[in-house]
Structure 1
Amino acid sequence: MLDGAHILRDLSLQIPRAAWTSIVGPNGAGKSSLLKALAGLLACDGKVQLLGQSVLEISRRDIARCLSWLGQSQSAAEDMRVWDVVMLGRLPHQAWLAAPSAADHAAVEQALRDTQAWQWRERSLGQLSGGERQRVLLARALAVHAEILLMDEPLANLDPPHQADWMALVRQLVAQGKTVVSVLHEISFALQADHLLIMQEGQLVHQGACDDPASHQALREVFEQRIAIHSVAGQWVALPN
């Protein structure tokens, strides 16, 4: 529910663990709202479970440890040092007013290196380009070391090489047993996921494997037959029809 209006309707779904699920659909379909509902950031009338337990029964601190969030237009103070921005991802693991531990420093360094942002660690966020900021915010999400990562438009402002790096990183996370859920406008990237959720007008119209012909048909239908799904070099891609 948003501003008293129901954005999502009649939803029933289960996100596979240790897999990459992509949420796709036309503009205004409810993709971001669904991701916020999964994160507990959007009030809903139904029931949301996290790792088999109702989110209402889990403390916010425990949720913050097991679930990491990268939202649209997410930012931090312009004058914050990149290192400090990423260190914010470690707050759920720290005692109140405690100094960062060696494990916190190691997690931040690894996250910055994984997103190729290590060289900016002493710069302020305001000195970075849009794509560089996105990589820093992704590093903040990675630094949490959460079992579940929810990402809303994570490819925003990234150039093609760094989009490819993001996909490789997601595959690495899944191989480590992490669960990744992403909202993507880039249908060809979404089709590289393990599982697909297709939204339209606040409803889930299809869920299934990305290589399932039924998933491809549902994609064509929600985009009004304006895209075609093709196999190119062993991968499924979406092209204008």
Structure 2
Amino acid sequence: MSAQVDTPWALTAQQLDVQLRGRRVLHAVDVAIPRARWTCIVGPNGAGKSTLLRALAGLCRADGLIQLLGRPLRAWSRRERAQTLAWLGQNEYGSDDLTARDVVMLGRLPHRSWLAAPGARDHAAVEQALRATQAWDWRDRPLGQLSGGERQRVLLARLLAVQAPVMLMDEPVASLDPPHQADWLALVRMLVARGHTVVSILHELTLALHADELVIVAEGRIAHHGATADAATHRALERVFDHRVEVLPVRSQWVALPRIDATG
């Protein structure tokens, strides 16, 4: 692998433009995602959040300069990038006939030679990932026999099995019940403490307020990027949702609550 650039940024984008089906979705976006932090991308429906995340991952055509760990994304080989940047997309599916263990083993492909059988390190990484997502008990069950929440935990384990320093997740808790959402939060905190960078999209604003930083997207532009605890970030979050949510402190944690018009 090529020498790494000493940079505080996991991902950066300069003048990032994306067009989808003839419509401009991102408009000259500049953003810098710090290393070893959890950054959450939030914003209204249709704001361009998923497009921004996919562009940062190199999964859609984009104009502008994207850098991964200080190197232009285009300078990374596919194998290098797959080892360094792990991806969990929204509403992803796997083959229903594959067992949970086999699905998670797919996350080890970037670390193996072509057609090589999994080695001891691969099996250890898969077990560790399945246990971290509490999916070990159904490791031999086909994906088609799992519930939506169980399937999502297996797909999350596949991402963890890559053991990449940068992890991108689009709506990773969408099918999880509240206890497993809490488990996901704890897992992200553990990953960041170990030096990983996590970038996620969440619709659950109260969960997003647990992140280190928020990137707030509106109409294909960055409306605000700041520390989650900052008052300016809270005001920006309320503003992009037309003041229909209110950020308040509850038991030493920030929460976003719907603002209900008492006169209605």
TM-score, normalised relative to structure 2: 0.90
Deviation at 1:117, TM superposition (A): 0.1
2: CA distance, partners of 1:100 / 1:27 = 41
2: CA distance, partners of 1:109 / 1:181 = 24
The residue that corresponds to 1:93 in the other structure is: 111
The residue that corresponds to 1:51 in the other structure is: 69
Matched, 1:142 2:164: no
Query: Helix, strand or coil: the match of 1:75?
Result: coil
The residue that corresponds to 2:209 in the other structure is: 191
The residue that corresponds to 2:91 in the other structure is: 73
> Of the candidates 124, 142, 145, which is equivalent to residue 124 of structure 1?
142
User: Partner amino acid for 1:96?
Assistant: W
2: CA distance, partners of 1:101 / 1:2 = 41
Task: Write the deviation string for residues 16-48 of structure 1: whole angstroms up to 9, x where unpaired.
Answer: 100000000000000000000110001111010
> Of the candidates 171, 176, 199, which is equivalent to residue 158 of structure 1?
176
> Of the candidates 166, 177, 180, which is equivalent to residue 195 of structure 2?
177
The residue that corresponds to 1:83 in the other structure is: 101
Task: Write the deviation string for residues 117-158 of structure 1: whole angstroms up to 9, x where unpaired.
Answer: 001110000000000000000000000000000000001110
| Higher relative strand content | 2
The residue that corresponds to 1:40 in the other structure is: 58
Percent same amino acid at aligned positions? Answer: 63
The residue that corresponds to 2:251 in the other structure is: 233
1: CA distance, partners of 2:129 / 2:168 = 16
1: CA distance, partners of 2:127 / 2:50 = 29
1: CA distance, partners of 2:254 / 2:90 = 26
Deviation at 1:73, TM superposition (A): 1.2
Q: Give the total of aligned pairs.
A: 241
The residue that corresponds to 1:3 in the other structure is: 21
Query: Helix, strand or coil: the match of 2:255?
Result: strand
TM-score, normalised relative to structure 1: 0.99
Contact 1:85 1:140 (C-alpha < 8 Å) held by counterparts: yes
Structure 2 gaps of 5+ residues are 1-18, 260-264
Matched, 1:20 2:70: no
User: Partner amino acid for 1:217?
Assistant: R
Instruction: Kindly report the root-mean-square deviation, in angstroms, between the aligned alpha carbons of the 2 structures.
Output: 0.6
The residue that corresponds to 2:3 in the other structure is: none
In the TM superposition, 1:97-112 aligns within 5 A as 97-112=115-130
Query: Helix, strand or coil: the match of 1:22?
Result: strand
Deviation at 1:3, TM superposition (A): 2.4
